[in-house]
Structure 1
Amino acid sequence: MPFLLSRLALAGAILSPVFAAQVHAQSVPDPDTKDILIVGQHAQDTLTTPNATGSRLGLTPLETPATLSVIDGATIRARGDLSVIDATSRAPGISNAGNPGNGGTALAARGFSGQGSVLQLIDGIRLFPAAGTITFPNDPWMVERIDILNGPASVLYGQGALGGAVNVLMRKPDTQRTHVEGEIGYGSQDSFHLAAGAGGPITERLSYRIDGSYRRSDGYVDRGQSRSHAVSGTLRWAPTDTLVVTARDDYGDQKPMRYFGTPLIDGRLDDRIRERNYNTRDGVIRYRDNRTSLQVDWTPSDAVTVSNQAYRLTSKRSWLNLETYCWIAADGVCANGSGNTGTPGGILRTDMTGIVHDQTQWGDQGSVTFRTGIADGVGNDLVMGFDVNLIKLTYSHNFGSDPQVSDVDPFAFDPGLIIDTQGIAPRYRTRTNEYAVFAEDRLKLGTHVSIVGGVRFERDTIRRWSIDYPGGTGTETFVLAKQLHNLTWRVGSVYQPITTVSLYAQYATGVDPLGTLTTYSTGQVQFSNAVGDQVEVGAKAVFLDGRGTATLAAYRIVKKRLLAQLTPTSPVEQVGQRSARGIEAAVSLDLPYGVGIDANGSVLDATFDDFVSSDTRFDGNTPPDVPETLANLWLRWNATRALQARAGLRYVGRRYSDNANSFRVPSYTMVDATLSYAVTPRLAVDIHGYNLFDRNYAISTYNNHQWVLGRPRAVDVSLRVGF
């Protein structure tokens, strides 16, 4: 453990002045800004606020033996984050791994990446990706807050959460007073944004919330136009003091940039093609999602709480693009290792692909919580519940069409049109049933010690039918039925020497699918899920009378049962293993004179411990899409009652795009800034600056020599109103 011990010592040295500040610093009140329209004031101390993401018992993060980060919606909007993924990747240990193939929403956490290892939820309900793709929710205007649980979350939410879980909580009605707010903005790349929302009480028992948002941009590459709109509505009815019924509907329609990345030239990013888009002019990417939910919360007594949420989510995702581009070297061979050939010095365009995901998922999740006093100073909280889901997917594609291949001049070319000789049609469908029961318990032993444990049993059944289209009529053939059974558990302990400091340790198990649960194929039917476990220790503290918080965690995760093939002719076996160990730290401070600091960082060592493909061993290599160092820093200054300035720095360490670590993606550092000024108590102007030093950087990769680049330097200006 020398790796962890050395970095624990370093992190402790960094954070020790913060803990010492509890003793030495003096409290200075913040300026009175209650009547001024400045969003993103520092949120209340999140460590002592009950949170249902890290524990179904509603424990506070200080009472939870795990790493739980909270980003409130006001802060997201004040920073100018343009998507939920942008905001989430500012949390400790989280990085963006999104590209068009996964809906632009994949994340990496604690050495594991993708929708199959970092689970995504909305209002506590898991989303089931189709072929690794999730596209909802996206617009931060609708977000109340984002909770990020680092490490295995399978005990709470099921398979696919070995690296962590991200829970997006949507805005809810205010039962006390009516709020109306809106904003309109314009900026670089002809970007435009219009959003509005209103909510409040209708009667003493009935309240509402409605929001709408529209965004468009010409993008930062040729033919990089994007459009999106989102609407949501919520009704909250409390017929009695103990019963609350909440009905909600959310809709999103996205047309993101039809941009699949920029090819490297001679292994490097060439500034001359920074704005080139090698897709055809008629490329298509569109995501439509609609979620309807009904939640009932009943509290018959202080000791008992009953909760149930039923939902329906429809998702239709469409792609038709020319997706892969590579530079052709002097020998006439593609530099990305594909073996394709073309004209030296040109860009070869291949992989014309059309796909449609038509998916509907229904679900119901219920639980009952009991809170019991056993003896003086000894109490027990227990929650038991169930989770059922049905997912229907029809997968359409045009695989098998005559390949569309062309090489073009890297700098000037006719993008052309898609040539599809087969057409997109349904090729298979699946039906996935999930049944799960879970329980979680907390035993509180006096004022200092508590023990928290949980268990979940889950059964998944997947059925698949192939669909053939001879003569244009569909014929279905049953292909497979597969059942998966998973039992996961966790146990941890929290020691609080004083009420504002906690020390904790936890052991947790988790389960990851080998691919995507809803697209199980005949090649996977003989295998079970991959399994893993984690050991985590950490410390959390609240100081400066609640104006400062700090967290520190060290962990080791091991994932087993990876698919491996010892020789080119040997069968595929589940014998591989990979692991990650690391440290995460975060600190937040409200200082005198309106100054505030939010900072976090992580260092990890992610490796293949035992992994072979054909006759190539990858032992000791870093898995793809995993940066081993991450850091975020935000400085804020309330200069006057009406003027607020923010500056943010994001650092993402180097990554690899392949198992062999032959293709390296360099690290990058980005600086953003925001200036907000309240012209009147109800009207404010915001200036958001992005990538101020105009760095070229890769958000992610689409192929080994194809980088999905981030937004260059940009400035957006917006007007906000609120009353």
Structure 2
Amino acid sequence: MAHSFKPAKTALLLAVLFSATAMPMRPVHAQSTAEKTLPVVEVAAPMANGIINLDTPTTTGSRLGLTPRETPATVTVVDRATIDARGAEDTQEILKAIPGVSAHNAPGNITVRYRGFSGGSVSQLYNGIDLNYTIANRAVDSWIYDRVEAIGGPSSFLYGAGAVGGSINYITKIAQRDDVSEGRVRVGSEGLKEASIGLNRRIAGDDSGTPSHYLRIDLNDHHSDGWTDGTKTHSTQLATSLLSDFGRGLTHTLAYEYQNDVVDRPYWGTPLLNPIAGTLRIDDGTRFKNYNSADGIYKQRVQWLRSITDLQVNDALHFKNTFYAYDAQRDYRNVETYRFNADNTQVIRSGAFLQRHDQRVVGNRIDGTYKGELAGLRSDWSFGLDMALNKQTRFPKSLPGTVSTVDPYNFVTENFFDIPGMTPGFVPSMTNKVTTTALYVENRTSLLPALNLVTALRHERIDLNLINRGVVNASNPASYERSYNPTTGRVGLVWDITPNAMTYIQYATAADPPAGSLATASFANAITNTELTTGRQLEIGAKLDFWQGKGSATAAIYSIARKNIATQDPNNSALTILVGEQSAKGIDLSVGLQATRQWAVRADFTYVNAQYEDFRQGGVSLAGNTPTNIPATVANLWTSYAITPALQASMGIRRVGKVYADAANTMVWPSYTLLDLGLAYQINRNVSLIGRIRNATDKIYAANTSVSSTAASAYLGAPRTADVTLRITF
């Protein structure tokens, strides 16, 4: 069973790790084949954990193709080199490279927290497309992604409602005009076995001017036993695309992605010891226990299709049309909630859920950019129309009562359909249709050679249509429709103090649902929540290079207010009214150093004071309290050192501040620090070996806490694990 870090397995992995591992991130220059010595590796370019790249255009902070330095906002780019350097296994681990972000991957409650907000208040995009459903953001293996970009704070003006805390954009690898051949094999503790391959080739055309076609395929297959009893995971990711270059500025990319994720007996949490107050604790003897049904399951199958047409009309005018379709089916068959009895001698298991979600999203977005002049001043424009239909049908079947009470350490759980009253089969309850039509425009005008005004405006019409597929009664009508019409925007000034230093001030707005997601809205909250929330942010920041280009840094201070959130009606606790307010005030600091040709350092620190300004729960005002599971501080330090030209060591330290498990702020999970270690060895120009130890101190920590009348548990992070990776380019 997948318990603690087993001694034999540890010894084997450490022997490999510290005797012949790792991959320096510098180019390799091999000697001639006649020589029989090791290749010479030259540390030439900045290392992935070094200076911050502020001068590569991004697609997430602006549609104008601005670089992070030119954007009046905090923009973070986690490129492929950084993903590889830190060994980020999946999208959740990539998020650790975004300052201030914390996240967890519990199967039914996937959440990202950014600038004091979480859930539907942080947009997670896939190639610029928002699925508007947090559970759809299940962690995906990092192999198929080229980079992840993020913008902090309100950004609905770019991607639509649902981005008060920020937007995170996962960008998939697609076909390029070059040849790429790479592979990876990884093995590790807890039965980890993984194989990946990536190929990019020109399959037709030549340099004579005839149309050229480039094909890319990236495939990943992952097996692991998990670190809790009985948990097994098998996931497969495929990303393939065809780039067709027809000449005269016209190109087309057809991209398809397939993701299949199956988790047997998924882990849902570890019960907290009573009394549930003050500093929360678990019994160390239950750390690796899994209280789910013996045949519990989580499955997700996702398909993406994108058709992207680019037309460069001339040097000034460019059009891009993106048609996209998304299809997903998610299945759950689990007992999900656990708590200790009063004297901590038994674990009470409850919450049997049989669920299916069918979600489909179809949309089309047409973008244009124009580089011109306005009143004699250089003025660049971006504009577009976005239309999408998000349709989801849910098939819930639940038994909220107690399933069984078991010994915390020695127990056997039932097969799911042996639970009295639970039978196979899916019956639909409701279909949610969310239709969005949006117009947007963005502009950058050079008021002075060193002063730019950046503005943006987006207007949306969001139509929500609920269709009852169950029993019709007074509280659950046959159907219900509602429309929302948010207008959001940004205005910012960017001052280039020197060619290597800038400062900015920005005011931005956002909108999102008052509670939950429109994709899962019930009749009760759709009827009650008559308006979207409004978000406002004022941000002041600076970005600069220093130390003769060996260092870079960014800094920002911000204040965000989210109003119109759903809060309990003081006159009727069974109802909510839209008068609540939540705020977040904070600072973001990041610095990167290429101290020497061998040594690179990247560090960041964020502080946020998140609190309710006006919020009620259980008839009690919670004004001044911190929302649950929001850490005030998050800090990261990554450093890499080339011990020899072929041997490189790396270390990552992550510190996450304490969080409150309840809105009353009476329960606390303490702060924690994680240590990751890596060692890489470049065998030759094409082959490298990388070893890593994650959570090297075997710290017990909670990625999320959940306390209610039926559940009191912590979703723990993984214990110490180790893995070895063989990477090949050919």
Per the normalisation by structure 2, the TM-score is 0.88
Matches within 5 A, 1:46-57: 46-57=53-64
1:264 paired residue among 252, 256, 272: 272
CA deviation string 1:651-678 (max 9, x = no partner): 1111112211122111110000111101
Cα distance between partner residues in 2 of 1:494 and 1:33: 40
Instruction: Say which of 528, 531, 536 aligns to 1:533.
Output: 536
Whole-angstrom distance in 2 between the partners of 1:168 and 1:546:
29
Structure 1 CA distance, aligned partners of 2:551 and 2:373? 32
Q: How many residues align?
A: 668
Q: 2:287 aligns with which of 262, 270, 274?
A: 274
Instruction: Quote how far apart the aligned CAs of 1:521 are.
Output: 2.0
Aligned CA distance change for structure 1 residues 283 and 664 (closer, same or farther; 3 Å): same
1:380 to 2:373 alignment: no
Q: Secondary structure at the match of 2:72?
A: coil
Over 3 Å counting, the alpha-carbon distance change for 1:605 and 1:469 in structure 2 is closer
Q: In the alignment, is the contact (CA less than 8 A) between 2:52 and 2:553 conserved in 1?
A: no
For residue 88 of structure 1, report the CA deviation from its aligned partner: 1.1
- Map Cα deviations across residues 474-532 of structure 1 (whole Å, 9 max, x no partner): xx973211111101111000000112111000001111112211122221223211111
For 1:98-497, list aligned pairs within 5 A: 98-102=105-109, 104=110, 106-114=111-119, 116-129=120-133, 132-135=134-137, 138-176=140-178, 178-202=179-203, 203-204=205-206, 205-256=212-263, 258-266=266-274, 267=276, 268-330=281-343, 345-374=345-374, 378-399=377-398, 401=399, 403-418=401-416, 419=419, 420-423=421-424, 424-468=426-470, 478-497=478-497
The 8 Å contact of residues 37 and 721 in structure 1, kept in 2 or not, is answered as no
Q: Determine whether 1:33 maps to 2:34.
A: no
Q: Tell me which amino acid in the other structure corresponds to 1:33.
A: V
More off after superposition, 224-233 vs 512-521 = 512-521
Q: Secondary structure at the match of 2:430?
A: strand
Flag the 1:529–1:699 CA change in 2: closer, same or farther, 3 A.
same
CA distance in 1, matches of 2:42, 2:659: 41
Conservation of the 8 A alpha-carbon contact between 2:176 and 2:243: no
Matched, 1:82 2:89: yes
Of 562, 576, 579 in structure 1, the residue corresponding to residue 580 of structure 2 is 576
- 1:565 corresponds to: 568
After superposition, give the CA deviation of every residue in 1:552-605 in whole Å (9 maximum; x if it has no partner).
000000011122224363652111111010000001111214100011110111
Aligned equivalent of 2:3: none
Deviations 1:87-126 (A, max 9, x none): 1132111111432213x3x210010011x11101111222
Query: In the aligned structure 2, how far is the partner of 1:681 from the partner of 1:522?
Result: 61
Aligned residue identity for 1:574:
L
List structure 1 runs of 4+ shifted beyond 3 angstroms: 30-41, 373-376, 401-404, 543-547
Q: Which amino acid aligns with 2:370?
A: F
Query: 1:24 aligns to what?
Result: none
Cα distance, 1:598–1:37 mapped onto 2, change above 3 Å: same
Q: 2:551 & 2:51 partners in 1: Cα distance? A: 10
The one-letter code of the counterpart of 2:372 is T
Partner of 2:7: none
Distance 1:44-1:234 versus aligned 2 partners, 3 A rule: farther
SS at match of 1:673: strand
- 1:190, 1:614 → 2: CA distance? 46
Structure 1 position 174, deviation (Å): 3.0
Alpha-carbon deviations, 1:289-312, whole Å to 9, x = none?
A: 100001011111111111111100
Q: How does 1:673-692 map to 2 (within 5 A)?
A: 673-692=677-696
Q: Is the 8 A contact 2:144 2:173 kept in 1?
A: yes
Contact 1:40 1:75 (C-alpha < 8 Å) held by counterparts: no
Note the alpha carbon deviations across 1:403-454, whole angstroms, 9 max, x for none: 4521111110112222253543211112221100000011112321000010
Q: For residues 346 and 582 of structure 2, what CA distance do their matches in structure 1 show?
A: 38
Aligned-residue offset at 1:161:
0.5
- Post-superposition Cα deviations, 1:19-70, rounded to whole Å, max 9, x if no partner, equal xxxxxxxxxxx97536669999428852111112101101111110000001
Partner of 1:6: none
Q: Distance in 1 between matches of 2:572 and 2:52?
A: 58
1:534-569 CA distance string (max 9 Å, x none): 000000012345442210000000011122224363
Whether 1:715 aligns to 2:714 is no
In the TM superposition, 1:613-692 aligns within 5 A as 613-692=617-696
Q: Distance in 1 between matches of 2:153 and 2:29?
A: 38
1:698 maps to what in 2? 702
Distance 2:467 2:228 in 1: 40
Q: CA deviation at 1:642?
A: 1.6
| Cα drift, residue 680 of structure 1 | 2.0
Distance 1:499 1:637, change over 3 A: same
Q: What is the rounded CA distance, in whole Å, between the counterparts of 1:630 and 1:373 in structure 2?
A: 43
% identical equivalent positions: 33
**Structure 1 equivalent of residue 34 of structure 2:** none
User: In the alignment, which residue of structure 1 is the partner of 2:15?
Assistant: none
State the SS of the aligned residue for 1:272: helix
Deviation at 1:137, TM superposition (A): 6.5
With structure 1 as the length reference, what TM-score do the two structures score? 0.89
CA distance in structure 2 between the partners assigned to 1:582 and 1:265 by the alignment: 33
Structure 1: gaps (5+ residues): 1-29, 331-343, 471-475
> Which ranges in structure 2 are unaligned for 5 or more consecutive residues?
1-24, 31-40, 207-211
Q: Is the 8 A contact 1:184 1:195 kept in 2?
A: yes
Question: In structure 2, how many angstroms separate the alpha carbons of the residues matched to 1:375 and 1:432?
Answer: 41
User: Over aligned residues, Cα RMSD in angstroms?
Assistant: 2.1
